[in-house]
Amino acid sequence: MKNKKRSIVTGGLGFVGSHLAEKLVNLNHKVTIIDNFSNGKLENIKEFKKKVTLIKADISKKGVWQKKFKDNDYVFHFAGLADIVPSINNPSKYFDTNVKGTLNVLEASRKYNIKKFLYAASSSSYGIPKKYPTKENEILDPKYPYSLTKKLGEDLVLHWGNVFNLNVISLRFFNIYGERSRTNGNYGAMFGVFLAQKLKGKPFTIVGNGTQKRDFTYISDVIGAIIKAIKIKKSNVVLNIGSGKCYSINYIVKLLNGDIIYIPKRPGEPEITWSNINKAKKILKWKPIVSIESGLEILLKNIHLWKTAPLWNKRNINIATKNWFKYLK
């Protein structure tokens, strides 16, 4: 098919990347996933693996993988290292992946005239904002190597957009949750850790006293925003993608229903993350539809699908997806 769109998803074996790749496949895109297999899981794409091209590569190093950008329309750059504590322990590794890696992906995109480049930025780059809900024009003041490298990555993206006329958009994601969230490691995404603890019958570990509030966005709302973002013509746009609401960690654990252990809070973490999404609503014609209560109920309804899987990452994607949309109706 001549008009079939061709898309590259870096980090396509990960949580958000795999959901995005699946959505693109369903939209009849020809999808290439580039991943180094360090954090992502093959099982995240097992239901549609035969419909994508999978390339194992380290984006922090230049290589033949960059030639795969030829004749593609879109690049969705989701590959990168996350989490705060590991970035403190090994900042150079984070710089190599999140900054050098982004540069290498940008250069390949520039060389092969990619029509649209979408960068997965992080709300952690705001540091501790002065105003809530936080707008995109808030001063960026990252507190950790992880958030700094994500900011530097965004700086590169916007600079390449200005200097080299690359059509770019940066989406600053707040806390994303949903199926396929990482459960491995000591510092994985909060919901992944909580669900892993629930499956093992262990108490939830809450950092600090649990009164801190976070802006949680369900994965289907995030994917919806990404798809709308590639359709806008305007370039060099920065948008917050969140729910526009915030909830305490204690409230989240109450909904999950379990015992609690409080552990010391790390310095430099904000008491609140809360997105102002008015700009995204206006430009993308998008708004989140899944409430935190509904999203958690969907997760808990599908938790039985995780029980037999190593590290609780195994999914029956078809069943889970049907359950999500059935519930949302």
Amino acid letter at 229? A
* Contact indicator for 211, 217 with CB cutoff of 8 Å: no
Give φ, ψ of 301 to 5 degrees.
Answer: -65, -30
Q: Are 60 and 100 in contact (CB under 8 A)?
A: yes
Catalytically annotated residue among 74, 94, 144, 146: 146
318 contact partners, CB below 8 Å, separation of at least 6: 47
Helix (H) or strand (E) holding 92: helix 91-95
CB 85 within 8 A of CB 269: no
User: What DSSP designation does 31 have?
Assistant: E
The two tokens of residue 219 are: 């994965």
CA distances from 306 to 19, 310, 323 (A): 17, 9, 15
Assess whether 247 carries a catalytic annotation: no
Q: Is the peptide bond before 310 cis (omega within 30 degrees of 0)?
A: no
Q: How far, in Å, CA of 272 to CA of 246, rounded? A: 8
Q: What is the 3-state secondary structure (H, E, C) of 37-55?
A: CCCCCHHHHCCCHHHEEEE
Give the residue numbers annotated as catalytic, written as ranges: 146
